[in-house]
Structure formats: structure tokens, C-alpha cells
Structure 1
Amino acid sequence: MSDNLKTIRELAEELDVSKQAIQYHIKSLTNKKRQTNDKGIVVLSLEEQEFIRSKVDKPTNKTKTNKQTNDKQTDKETKWDIHNYLISELDEVKKNRDKQLAVKDKQLENKDSQIAQMQNLLDQQQRLTLQDKKMLEEYKAEIENLKSLTLKSHENEQTSSITKYPESKENKEKWWHLW
């Protein structure tokens, strides 16, 4: 295993604290996916280890003068480590945000093109509907013309048959009178 990555147990033994204490401090880290080793055990990066060390290392009761100077140095180092860790986390969040925004931009472009295509199809459908309506009106007018022509021709036939029919009727009546 790499020296840079340590398991929770290894870090707890090194700091002489319980695994639960380490896990408690891990909760205060960001909720990103944790790295695991080949056995599936969670491992901590150097930044995470430094952050946990800064939280776990508490000064013991020694001489205050030595501790004050040491504390100031370790506080500066700890603050710097925490600062670096937070900056790296912030950079990662920014990268993820930029990726998500790029994906959303592509999705919006796709939606815009789909909307334009749907609008075009709707316009075509409206034009076709209008053409169909005009054609139906033309067909209706043509049918009316044909009906009026057939009615006129029927009327002409009836008038011609009426004029012929009475003559033949008279002839028939004459014929019947003979008997």
C-alpha cells in the first residue's frame, strides 16, 4: 500500500485514538466518494490525514512556554493544511459545476432545435390543413354544379317525355275506342 494513503485503523493507531474518533472527524470532511484500496477498505489521502490530525492532536499538559511556541507553529501549519484542503475541494466543486453547466448547455441547445423542428412541422400541418379545406370547398362547388346539370337534364327529359306521352296516349285512346 502506498505511504500516502492510510486506512482509518492505521491513522487511529498512529494518532493513538480510537477508530470511532477518526470516523467522527471524517464526517466533517466533504461528502465526496471515498477512495478504497484493493480490498475495499476506505483509505485517506494526505490532505484528509492532515485535516484529521489537526482535529485530533490536542496539546497535553506540558510546559506552557514550549507548548505556546509549538502550538503557534502547529496552528499555522494546521491552518495552512486545512486551507489547502479546502481550496482543493473548492476547485473540484468548480470543475464539477463547469461540467454540469456544459451538459445543461448542450441539453438546452438540443431542446431549442427540437422546438424549432416542432414549430416547422406545425406550420406544415397547418398549411396542409388549409389546402385540404380549399380542395373540399372546390369539390363541393363542383358537386353542386354537377347536381344542377343533372337536374336540368332530368327536367328536360321529363318535359320532352311529357310532350310525347300525351300524343301516344291519345293514339292509345283512339285505338281503344275501336273495340
Structure 2
Amino acid sequence: LMGFENNKSSTSESTNRLVDYDVYLDVIDSIKEKDEQIKSLLEVQKQTQNLLDQQQRLALQDKNLLEEYKIENDSLKALKMPSQETETKQLDNQPKDELKALKEQLETLQEQKNARKWWNLWRK
């Protein structure tokens, strides 16, 4: 009986060892698959980080360009404003100058007319 039990237990042990070895191989394959998935995820993470870095650099570049544009725009406004004011004053003064010149011409004509009247009176 004892030998039979030994044979039975040794057969059971070898079967268990075969099952354990198959489980071991399955676990190894599963680990290899997980390693590949981890590598893929790390690559995706690296690419995502590169894209984020690039986006941040572009955002900073855009911000700097906007600041430069704002400074340039403010400078142009500062340069244009006095000339616009000057042009406006010149335009405002232009009708006044023309009116003044017309008044002077009218006064000159009236003086000449009056001078003729007096001259004509002397002649008669």
C-alpha cells in the first residue's frame, strides 16, 4: 500500500509540477506582454510631453509677439497722434485764415472804392 501511495503522490507531484511550469510560462508571457504595453505607454507619454513642451513654447512665443506688437502699435499711435492734432488744427485754422484773407480783401476793396469816391469828388 505504501508504495502505491508513493507512486500516487509522485504522479500527483509531477502533474502539479507540469501545471506549475505551464502557469510559469503563461506568467512569463503575460509579463512580456505587459512590458511591451509599458514601453508603448512610455513612448506615448514622451510624445505627449514633447507636444506639451512645444505648445508651451509656442504660447510663450505668441505672448512675446503680442507684447512686441502692442509696444509697436503704441509707438505708432504716439507718433501719429501729434500729426493728427496738427492736421486738425491746420484744418480748423484753414477756414479762419481764408475768412481773414477775404475780410482783408474786402477792406482793401472798400478803401479803394472810398478813395475813388473822394477822388471823384475832388475832380468835380
Task: Please indicate the TM-score interval, normalised by the length of the shorter structure.
Answer: 0.7 to 0.9
Provide the C-alpha distance between the structure 2 equivalents of 1:161 and 1:90, rounded to a whole number of angstroms: 102
Unaligned runs of 5+ in 2: 111-124
Provide the C-alpha distance between the structure 2 equivalents of 1:88 and 1:163, rounded to a whole number of angstroms: 110
Provide the C-alpha distance between the structure 2 equivalents of 1:89 and 1:161, rounded to a whole number of angstroms: 103
How far does residue 134 in structure 1 lie from its aligned partner after superposition? 0.7
Per-residue Cα deviation, 1:148-175 (whole angstroms, up to 9, x for no partner): 2221111111233344432312234464
Letter in 1 for 2:85: E
2:76 matches 1:146: yes
2:42 matches 1:117: no
Between 164-173 and 123-132, report the one with greater CA deviation.
164-173
Which residue matches 2:88?
158
- Higher-Rg member (1/2): 2
Counterpart pick for 1:104 among 25, 34, 41: 34
Provide the C-alpha distance between the structure 2 equivalents of 1:78 and 1:162, rounded to a whole number of angstroms: 121
Letter in 1 for 2:88: Q
Which residue matches 1:171?
101
TM-score relative to the length of structure 2: 0.76
Which residue matches 2:24?
94
Letter in 2 for 1:146: L
Per-residue Cα deviation, 1:53-101 (whole angstroms, up to 9, x for no partner): xxxxxxxxxxxxxxxxxx1121111111111111111111100000001
Tell me: higher relative CO, structure 1 or 2? Use CA pairs within 8 A at least 6 residues apart. 1
Which residue matches 2:15?
85
Deviating above 3 A after TM superposition, structure 1's stretches of 4 or more consecutive aligned residues are: 161-165, 171-176
Provide the C-alpha distance between the structure 2 equivalents of 1:167 and 1:107, rounded to a whole number of angstroms: 87
2:34 matches 1:127: no
Aligned residues: 108
Which residue matches 2:121?
none
TM-score relative to the length of structure 1: 0.54
Unaligned runs of 5+ in 1: 1-70
